[in-house]
Chain A
Amino acid sequence: MNNLQKNRFIDQVFKILGILFTMLGIFILGVLIYNILKVGVTRINWDFLTSLPSRRPEKAGIYTAIIGTLDLMLLTIIFAIPVGVGAGIYLEEYAKKSKFSSLLEINISNLAGVPSIIYGLLGLGIFVRFFGLGGSILSGSLTLSLLILPIIIVATREAIKAVPHSLKEASYGLGASKWQTIKNVVLPSSFGGILTGIILSLSRAIGETAPLIVVGAMAYVPFVPHSVFDTFSVLPMQIFSWTTRPQQGFAIAASAAIIILLIITFVMNGIAVYFRNKWQKKLK
């Protein structure tokens, strides 16, 4: 075997390995989804979506949990996106290279890897106790906002970094100010990347249970929150509660709730992908 053949052989091996690993990931996801669908899909009906939780698994529903999850996501979006995108823009466009800014950068990257339960404890200390917001939906969404901020900031920075320098220079050349350049050139052409980061972060937030338990999400909440200061439940909390019960009926209900959670996640991602594609077409 000469050198060329050897290299080609390694090339092929690497390619096949790559395909195998990709298939493995998809295969496991497929098995997971198949199992859940098999158990839970027949349990989903209108009553399941509109009923309150119950001790009788065949009667239990996820109405308050769905509303809780949607409310929580909405508030999280309101808090996290402006702050996250704003911080990303500042760090990439305004901040001067200094020891302080590189310290900031390292910390933000590290924060993205902190376990979510730690954010729960932080939320408990700051929002629940110090600001006295209690185990409210407001505390929950602020905690989740903290959790996903690093992801949004990092994604925003990467997206902005990818904007061609020539575009910015052209804008400056025409006499545009920094803010005009950001508003008219940088943000529009990095919008797709920023949106991808936001999608990823929200998909993470919607499945979180641990920090919300710490903050005070309840498993049994028989009413819909009327204000941001009300107690709340969320779908992952309900799923967690049901999977630990001894009765088989609750396992079925949990699978059904997981399907609903997946659908909500897919719809949310779908909307974001739709906007991203539409935006990119407009740019061209």
Chain B
Amino acid sequence: MKKLVFIISLAILAVSCGEKKAEKTSELTGSIAIDGSGTVYPVSEAVAEEFLKTEPKVKVTVGESGTGGGFKKFATGVTDISDASREIKGKEIELCKENAIEYIKLTVALDGITVVINKDNTWAKSMTTEELKKLWEPNSTIKKWNEIRAEWPNEEIHLYGPNTSHGTYDFFTEVIMGESGASRTDYNAVSDYNVAVQGIEKDVNALGYFGLSYYEENKDKLGVVGIDNGSGVVLPSIETVANNQYAPLSRSLFIFVNTKSAQRPEVEKFVKFYLENAPQLSKEVGYVPMPQSGYDEQKAAFEAILIKK
């Protein structure tokens, strides 16, 4: 008799579980607004594209108005998720507080800022972080290669870098100069990295910096500078970024999720889907996935805020 009751209760449990599952896979609706960094955009686009296949009725839109522009919208509650290629700044945090916006920061991928040179540049195969600082710091007087190292040619150096609206600019200046936004201004400031790629490709005396994916896609046309932070020269690659050997120029890419939005089932599911698929999709669009343990931590952190509420 007891056995029978046990079996029946088990069956009921199974059925009820099955029902719950069926409910969950039944179609979600609603919309999710994402905006922010153009660097993180390809990852979010890829995730949204895949999510559309499993939840075709959820309208996910992704914009790329820049990390700063994205936070402006995020802090006023216009967007549910903000893509960011840097940390949130003091002013942006204040704006969030003013509008009672609470959020959680999740890391979704890694990227390495790559210092690139012309293919025919035979000398600058590596640089120390001090040399980079001397070259890029505000009011830097370095105009020629031999002013960095005496044995380098007596030729003018032509610099390329992102303009001030890029998170890449903030990050590079932060880790190399020690202060976000501190940079010399007499360089070719580009809004589109492909312009920098073209410029460096055609000029043997050019040097520039941008995200690893732009180098990886143009490996046959560009040269790369190894970075020496005092413990030996490291070349940027998917491996050295993933294990953080490529320091200090490895960075994290984030999504900031509005905690209130995360209570909505479609947003909850999307963020979980994001963390589940980020390892594969971030690699596909040219970034470096974290080790799986990193994603497990992010998932746990996201679960924690769902329970807390």
Contact = CB atoms under 8 A, between A and B. Distances in A.
A121 to B, nearest CB: 12
A206 B63 CA distance: 19
A219 interface: yes
Interface in B67-89: 73, 78
Given A55-B281, A241-B64, A246-B194, A218 B35 contact: yes
Contacts of A218: 35, 61-63
B276 interface: no
A187 to B, nearest CB: 42
A243 interface: yes
B39 to A, nearest CB: 10
Nearest to A245: B42
Interface in B263-295: 281, 284-286
Contacts of B281: 55
B155 interface: no
Interface stretch (A155-163, A170-178, A220-228, A270-278): A220-228
Given A231-B33, A244-B38, A54 B63 contact: no
Contacts of A243: 192, 194
A87 B63 CA distance: 36
Given A55-B49, A231-B33, A219 B217 contact: no
B48 interface: yes
A248 interface: yes
Given A221-B61, A231-B61, A246 B41 contact: no
Contacts of B180: none
Contacts of A134: 78
Interface in A239-284: 241, 243-248, 251
A211 interface: no
A246 B217 contact: yes
B65 interface: yes
A254 to B, nearest CB: 10
A40 interface: no
B62 A246 contact: no
Contacts of A53: 45, 49
B46 interface: yes
Contact of A55 (B45, B65, B78, B193): B45
Nearest to B50: A55
A138 B38 CA distance: 25
Nearest to B59: A223
Contacts, number: 74
Contacts of A214: 65
Contact of B64 (A54, A135, A219, A223): A219
B106 to A, nearest CB: 19
Contacts of B64: 219, 241
Main SS of chain A's interface residues?
loop
A84 interface: no
A55 B35 contact: no
B213 interface: yes
A55 B194 contact: no
Nearest to B46: A55
B33 A222 contact: no
A220 B35 CA distance: 10
A66 B205 CA distance: 42
Interface in A189-233: 213-214, 216-223, 231
A213 B65 contact: yes
B216 A54 contact: no
A219 B41 contact: yes
B285 to A, nearest CB: 5
Given A246-B216, A246-B217, A222 B286 contact: no
Nearest to A251: B194
B46 A246 contact: no
Contact of B214 (A54, A223, A246): A246
A245 B284 CA distance: 13
A244 B214 CA distance: 10
Contacts of B52: 52, 222
A238 to B, nearest CB: 11
Contacts of B193: 244, 246
A129 to B, nearest CB: 9
A158 to B, nearest CB: 36
18 contacts: A52-B52, A54-B49, A55-B284, A216-B78, A219-B62, A220-B44, A220-B49, A220-B62, A220-B63, A221-B61, A222-B60, A222-B61, A231-B59, A244-B38, A244-B192, A244-B193, A246-B211, A247-B286
Given A54-B45, A219-B41, A246-B218, 7 more contacts: A134-B78, A219-B62, A241-B41, A243-B194, A244-B191, A246-B211, A247-B286
Interface of B: 33, 35, 38, 41-42, 44-46, 48-49, 52, 59-65, 73, 78, 191-194, 211, 213-214, 216-218, 281, 284-286
Across the A-B interface, the 3 shortest Cβ-Cβ residue pairs = A220-B62, A55-B46, A246-B217
